[in-house]
Chain A
Amino acid sequence: MDFFSAYILVALCILLFSVVYALYAVYAERKVSAFIQDRYGPMETGKFGLLQTVADIAKLLQKENITPAAADKVLFIAAPLVIFVSVFMGFAAMPFAPEVIGSAANIGVFYIIAILAVEVVGILMAGWGSGNKYALLGSMRSVAQIVSYEIPAGVAIVSVLMICQTLNLQEISFQQGILSTETIKFLGFWDVSDTGGLLAWNIFRAPHLVVAFLIYFIASLAECNRAPFDIPEAESELVAGFHVEYGGIRFGLIFLAEYAMMLLVSMLASILCLGGWNTPLPNIGGLELATWTTGNIWGVFWLIFKSFGLVAVQMWVRWTLPRLRVDQLMSFCWKVLIPAAFLCMFVSGIWRLLVMN
């Protein structure tokens, strides 16, 4: 029973959560894009179109799984599974609340960066295995982009880790709220260990982490293949990019993985910089808002609230900014983000040595 509850039930819960989330994230994306463009979005299936994505996935489930004659069958069939599993495994190390975490590994951050890199392999498998030039072009672009943007993302994460001095995501979360065992200083001078709230978040413990957060957020857009970095799926050039040959539930899995990936990187960003499951409300004298709103259920609520907020910003950005060209994409990464990320890392070192001691 212990084995069952620990390994299967938890995994099923996370799977169910990410599937339901992905369905309604697609719905939300369509609504957000509609409102930005002064439209209604889906309105016919269910009240306000709420069942639209459920109907879509029901359609995808019924479709025949077609494998193109020119495809490399093994790679083609395995690719959606690799993509989905690698994203889904990332949730294992996410601390949802003080006592709710799949695996409180000491190398949590490292594990997540590594497991997200496996997705690149899946995308390359999908593009190569399809036997289609557009799919191959899309996957090559995607790989070039994700591998490039992992550097600024990684360096931005490192600058957070230098402040936190741990790779354990749960410990990073504990450091940013009233449950912390060490003293937290707001901007390095004001002790807010008992005040908590948003004053104890990493971006306020060390203000240069705002820049690190922005760098990570921009890089995470590129890692999710989201606009304005969606050249791997550029509809006008590549039809649909690496997943052009996929239909039915295989396409469904890739689509699901894309939205789960958005949530995963948003969760990571909010854990590293925005306090994770810690409440944004501080204790103000007798008004102990932080103490009242800290706990396991509150923790899950706050983390999901913050990461959904970031997902909403991702959607907002997608429907506003036009797609970058390949050369712009690369020069932005290598000439702007990476130097800025290294600068952040440098300031983190100075801050840790001079201010936090």
Chain B
Amino acid sequence: MSVKNPIWNSLVTAWKGLKVTLDHVFHSGKKRKPQGVAEDNYFKQQEGLVTIQYPREKIPVPETGRYQLHVEIDDCIVCDLCAKICPVDCIDIEAVKAVEDMGVTSDGTRKRLHAALFDIDMAKCMYCGLCTTVCPTECIIMTDTYDKSVSDMHELNYKFSEMTPEEVADKKRLLEESRKPKPDSAS
């Protein structure tokens, strides 16, 4: 296209731009479907409105999504590795040594410690996933849950320990008793 006539050129280019926007208006009847990335035509929905009206529509995430943490506390051996590797110190664990036989986890590892406290503060978590890689029994995993809006920030401190304070006190007492020297052997 020649640029010899700037007036004609500006009219032509202005019309080109107007046509682009007009095409978008005409395609506004269509809309992007809330399909996950696994769908075949995920990248082919080029026309129509792109907004996903979030709380009412959601794009499905893969089942293997790595969002919020979950702890299968029955499989936990309270080794504290996850709390140690956590870069932001969002995991808080308190262990109480067991005196009785606690049985084994689902992968056959013997459990020797009670999880008196197992808190993960999701407000601090940076979703790096290091805790899931170091876990020897794979009891701490990332799930596909990503929307956990709460009105009080303390609700984001997830408590995974299932022990009541009474149970914890009871286990501590048992541990103390087992450590006391036997009266008959001392004499």
Contacts and interface: CB of A to CB of B under 8 A. Distances in A.
A317 interface: yes
A319 B51 contact: no
A60 to B, nearest CB: 27
Given A32-B25, A336-B7, A40 B51 contact: yes
A35 B17 contact: no
B14 interface: yes
B21 A38 contact: no
Best-buried of B7, B28, B48 by chain A (most CB within 10 Å): B28
* Interface majority SS (helix, strand, loop, mixed), chain A: loop
B49 A38 contact: yes
Interface string B12-27: 0010011011101100
Nearest to A228: B14
A350 interface: no
B28 A38 contact: yes
A313 to B, nearest CB: 9
Given A32-B25, A40-B53, A43-B53, A320 B20 contact: yes
Contact of A35 (B7, B20, B28, B53): B28
Contact of A36 (B7, B24, B48, B53): B24
B50 interface: yes
A37 B53 CA distance: 15
Contacts of A32: 25
B49 A40 contact: yes
A108 B170 CA distance: 96
A319 B18 CA distance: 9
Contacts of A37: 24
Nearest to B52: A40
Given A35-B24, A36-B25, A321 B14 contact: yes
A133 interface: no
Q: Could you say which interface size class chain B belongs to?
A: 10 to 19
A38 B17 contact: no
Interface residues of A, number: 14
Nearest to A312: B25
Contacts of B51: 38-40
B18 A38 contact: no
B21 A316 contact: yes
Contacts of A320: 14, 17-18, 20-21
A316 B24 contact: no
Interface string A252-270: 0000000000000000000
Contacts of B21: 36, 316, 319-320
Contacts of A317: 18
Interface in A28-76: 32, 35-40, 43
A36 B26 CA distance: 9
B48 A38 contact: yes
Contact of A39 (B7, B18, B49): B49
Contacts of B53: 40, 43
Interface string A288-330: 0000000000000000000000000000110111000000000
Interface in B36-55: 48-51, 53
A36 B22 CA distance: 7
The residue among B21, B51, B53 with the most chain A CB atoms within 10 A of its own CB is B21
A43 B20 CA distance: 24
Nearest to A335: B7
- With a 10 A CB-CB cut-off, give which of A32, A39, A320, A336 has the most chain B CB atoms: A320
A124 B185 CA distance: 103
A40 B48 CA distance: 10
Contacts of A35: 24-25, 28, 49
A334 to B, nearest CB: 14
Contacts of A316: 18, 21-22, 25
Contact of B17 (A39, A40, A321): A321
A133 to B, nearest CB: 33
Nearest to A317: B18
Identify which of B7, B20, B49 gathers the most chain A CB atoms within 10 Å of its CB. Answer: B49
Interface of A: 32, 35-40, 43, 316-317, 319-321, 336
29 contacts: A35-B24, A35-B28, A35-B49, A36-B21, A36-B24, A36-B25, A38-B24, A38-B28, A38-B48, A38-B49, A38-B51, A39-B50, A39-B51, A40-B49, A40-B51, A40-B53, A43-B53, A316-B18, A316-B21, A316-B22, A316-B25, A319-B21, A320-B14, A320-B17, A320-B18, A320-B20, A321-B14, A321-B17, A321-B18
Closest 7 CB pairs of A and B: A35-B28, A320-B21, A36-B21, A35-B25, A38-B50, A320-B17, A40-B51
Interface of B: 7, 14, 17-18, 20-22, 24-25, 28, 48-51, 53
Given A35-B28, A336-B7, 8 more contacts: A35-B25, A35-B49, A37-B24, A39-B50, A316-B21, A316-B25, A320-B17, A320-B18
